[in-house]
Amino acid sequence: AAEDRRFKILRMGWDELEASIAGCIACPLCQSRTRTVPGVGDRNADWLYVGEGPGAQEDATGEPFVGQAGKLLDNMLAAIDLKRGRNVFITNIVKCRPPGNREPAPYEAQQCEPYLARQIAMITPKLIIALGKVAAQNLLGTDASIGSLRGRLHQHSGIPVIVTYHPAYLLRTLTAKAKAWEDLCFARSTMQRLGTA
Ligand code: URA
């Protein structure tokens, strides 16, 4: 049944995919969510940013990264001449808010995975930026730490992946900002190497 569901999702177009996410009852997060947060941006983006999951403001609005962490993400984008919606798509590992902003459980991430897989297949980004531990570990299938994953290229379904700190972590940990800046520069130079600046 899980294989059938995944197979179906992997053949959906955008409208069907977003309707499917909006009506999803595949994991317990559907019981506590206000709105689903499928992701926003340029469906032909070179850059795909993947976070962990919606927080309170995202759950209320249906848009990813609109709270405090989102403002910092906008600044991180601006630092490398990017703008939300222009050559950038932003989404999360899970499309529904985990209660109290706890981390998504493995089962929740697993049930949500076909949606992200379909988004990646349709967007075909040149580069994926994993924001934080949950995004990195789920995309790369590892339990390694951010510290050990950042600073080098990884791959997810043939697409280069760069790992950096989650903006919410950076808000709490000012000492990590210099490393996040290095990651942004690494991402920008990687994209230049890949073709489009
Ligand atoms: N944190 C995330 O990981 N994603 C959001 O959309 C908002 C905050």
Structure ipTM: 0.93
Q: How many CB atoms lie within 10 A of CB 102?
A: 9
How far, in Å, from the CA of 152 to the mean position of ligand 1?
A: 23
How far, in Å, from the CA of 51 to the mean position of ligand 1?
A: 5
Q: How many CB atoms lie within 10 A of CB 192?
A: 10
Work out how many domains the chain is built from and give that number. 1
- Residues with CB under 6 Å of ligand 1 are 51-55, 58, 64-65, 69-70, 92, 168
Confidence of residue 52 (pLDDT cuts 50, 70, 90): very high
Query: Strand ranges (DSSP E) for 15-139?
Result: 40-41, 47-51, 88-92, 127-131
CATH number, domain containing residue 110: 3.40.470.10
The length of the chain, given as a count of residues: 197
Rounded-to-integer distance, Cα 26 and Cα 177, Å: 37
Ligand 1 atom closest to the Cα of residue 134 is 3
Query: Strand ranges (DSSP E) for 83-156?
Result: 88-92, 127-131, 154-156
- Domain of residue 162, residue span: 2-194
Rounded-to-integer distance, Cα 131 and Cα 52, Å: 7
What's the pLDDT score for residue 197? Answer: 45
Pocket-testing residue among 59, 92, 116, 165, ligand 1, by greatest number of atoms within 8 A of Cβ:
92
Is residue 177 scored above 50 in pLDDT? yes
Confidence of residue 2 (pLDDT cuts 50, 70, 90): confident
Task: Report whether 47 contacts 164 (CB < 8 A).
Answer: no
Task: Report whether 43 contacts 89 (CB < 8 A).
Answer: yes
Ligand 1 atom closest to the Cα of residue 69 is 8
Nearest CA residue ID for atom 7, ligand 1: 65
pLDDT (mean) for 78-82: 95
How far, in Å, from the CA of 189 to the mean position of ligand 1?
A: 25
How many helical (H) and strand (E) elements, i.e. helices and strands, does the chain have? 10, 6
pLDDT (mean) for 86-102: 97
What's the pLDDT score for residue 196? Answer: 52
DSSP string, 150-180: TTS-EEETTEEEEEE--HHHHHH-GGGHHHH
How far, in Å, from the CA of 66 to the mean position of ligand 1?
A: 8
Task: Report whether 97 contacts 32 (CB < 8 A).
Answer: yes
Ligand 1 atom closest to the Cα of residue 90 is 6
